[in-house]
């Protein structure tokens, strides 16, 4: 099957590498010749590095590069069996481009969106054959991150779903099935990791460094929330939060933070701009954390309770299976444990008590416990075992 990829940015280029390394002829289309050339040079550089490390042979590197053709014309998608778009997160643009591509590709070609939070049903609604639309959401960097969220829209046919999932599975990726709702699994369930950390900072409980220390040193997370937001980019992370918040009809659980908004407005975007919550300029010294064990545990308990509540609610609303939700959070954002498994370890009653304490203290709906959590505590149930 020939794979088409639209958009030669970081994500598009990563998807191209994965498909080409798995033996597919790939057509990469981008209107910007400079970005196309950069993508081609980057693939060559990555292949050379993999050869040097002994991960692949010179022959494999050359074959992977030979599998990719580069174009500025979407008409070159004419022989593709699937086209994956990885362009700007704008519903109108994605939908319009898909309508144009549909007129070019062979009958039965799957049109897949790599959107991280937009409605797949909306993207495919203007197509003549919306049953061929599906969400295939990779995580950055696509060649390294194992997780791919597969999102069928209400219009997606069983055949489209099976073909798309079988293809991604054949690329040795870990696939999880998600309902077509804002943020899917990962970008929905992960919101409190950022949002509650920002809230703790705004209340003056702890600074950026201390919150990050609590989550990494005590919680075992690979990166603290502020380091991770700086890595992702505050502009990108804020936009996803705002998109999810708006899409959920302004549910306070997903409320964006003015702290993050002001950082983005000031150009403090994170690593890419040299400064975010931390200073990344050469020789810069960032504040040391307050390594108070009691404070650190309180920070972890609060953020973790919110994360678990979000994961439980995702099960309650059939966003994904309990197995897929835990898999998504460990393989998609490298959490140390699946949140539902973690909840079993802590005790669902303990998690519920923490949430009820927060709810009573603040009187805010953002802390409301999931009805499923209440039911499971009442019935003395666990998620696993």
Domains of the chain: 3-177 (3.40.50.720), 187-385 (1.10.1040.50)
Spatial distance between the Cα atoms of 115 and 173, rounded to a whole number of angstroms:
18
> What is the average per-residue pLDDT within 223-243?
94
175 bridge partner residues: 148
Residue 134 banded pLDDT, cuts 50, 70, 90: very high
Model confidence pLDDT, tens digit, residues 262-272:
999 999 999 99
Rounded-to-integer distance, Cα 114 and Cα 89, Å: 9
pLDDT confidence of 117, banded at 50, 70, 90?
A: confident
Say what percent of the chain tops pLDDT 90: 98
pLDDT one-digit tens code per residue, 50-106: 999 999 999 999 999 999 999 999 999 999 999 999 999 899 999 999 999 999 999
Rounded CA-CA distance 382/242 in Å is: 33
- The Cα–Cα gap between 349 and 373 comes to 8
Q: CA-CA distance, 132 to 299, in Å (whole number)?
A: 45
Q: pLDDT tens, 303-360? A: 999 999 999 999 999 999 999 999 999 999 999 999 999 999 999 999 999 999 999 9
What is the reported pTM? 0.95
Residue identified by tokens 């590069």 is 65
Bridge partners (DSSP) listed for residue 366: none
- The rounded distance, in Å, linking the Cα atoms of 130 and 155 is 6
SS3 49: helix
Mean pLDDT confidence for 181-199:
97
pLDDT tens across 142-189, in order?
999 999 999 999 999 999 999 999 999 999 999 999 999 999 999 999
- The pLDDT tens digits for 16-40 are 999 999 999 999 999 999 999 999 9
What Å distances lie between residue 108 and 81, 159, 233, 342, 354, CA to CA? 7, 10, 37, 43, 51
Smallest CA-to-CA distance from 98 within 68, 62, 70, 123 is with: 123
Run of H or E including 5:
strand 3-6
Residues in the chain: 385
Active site residues: 116, 137, 149, 187
Question: Based on the number of CB atoms within 10 Å of its own CB, is 363 exposed (0-12), middle (13-18) or buried (19 or more)?
Answer: exposed
């Amino acid at each position: 099957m020939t794979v088409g990829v639209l958009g030669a940015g970081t994500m598009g280029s990563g998807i191209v590498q994965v498909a080409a390394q798995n033996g597919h002829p790939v057509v990469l289309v981008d209107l910007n010749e400079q970005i196309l050339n950069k993508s081609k040079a980057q693939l060559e550089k990555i292949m050379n590095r993999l050869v040097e490390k002994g991960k692949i042979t010179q022959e494999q590197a050359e074959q992977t590069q030979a599998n990719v053709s580069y174009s500025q014309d979407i008409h070159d998608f004419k022989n593709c069996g699937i086209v994956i778009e990885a362009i700007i997160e704008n519903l109108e643009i994605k939908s319009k481009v898909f309508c144009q591509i549909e007129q070019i590709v062979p009958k039965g070609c799957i049109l897949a969106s790599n959107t991280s939070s937009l409605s797949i049903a909306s993207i495919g609604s203007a197509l003549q054959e919306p049953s061929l639309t599906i969400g295939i959401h990779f995580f950055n960097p696509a060649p390294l991150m194992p997780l791919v969220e597969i999102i069928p829209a209400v219009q997606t046919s069983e055949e489209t779903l099976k073909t798309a999932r079988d293809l991604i599975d054949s690329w040795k990726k870990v696939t999880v099935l998600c309902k077509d709702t804002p943020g899917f699994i990962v970008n929905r369930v992960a919101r409190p990791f950022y949002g509650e950390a920002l809230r703790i900072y705004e209340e003056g409980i702890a600074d950026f460094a201390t919150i990050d220390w609590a989550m990494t040193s005590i919680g075992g997370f690979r990166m603290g929330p502020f380091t991770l937001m700086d890595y992702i980019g505050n502009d990108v992370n804020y936009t996803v939060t705002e998109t999810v918040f708006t899409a959920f009809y302004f549910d306070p659980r997903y409320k964006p933070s003015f702290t993050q908004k002001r950082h983005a407005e000031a150009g403090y975007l994170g690593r890419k701009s040299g400064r975010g919550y931390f200073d990344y300029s050469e020789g810069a010294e960032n504040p040391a954390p307050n390594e108070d064990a009691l404070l650190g545990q309180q920070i972890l308990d609060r953020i973790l309770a919110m994360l678990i509540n979000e994961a439980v609610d995702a099960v309650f609303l059939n966003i994904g299976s309990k197995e897929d939700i835990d898999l998504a959070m460990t393989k998609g954002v490298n959490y140390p444990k699946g949140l539902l498994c973690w909840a079993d370890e802590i005790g669902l009653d303990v998690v519920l008590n923490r949430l009820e304490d927060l709810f009573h203290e603040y009187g805010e709906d953002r802390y409301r416990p999931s009805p499923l959590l209440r039911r499971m505590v009442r019935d003395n149930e666990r998620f696993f075992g």
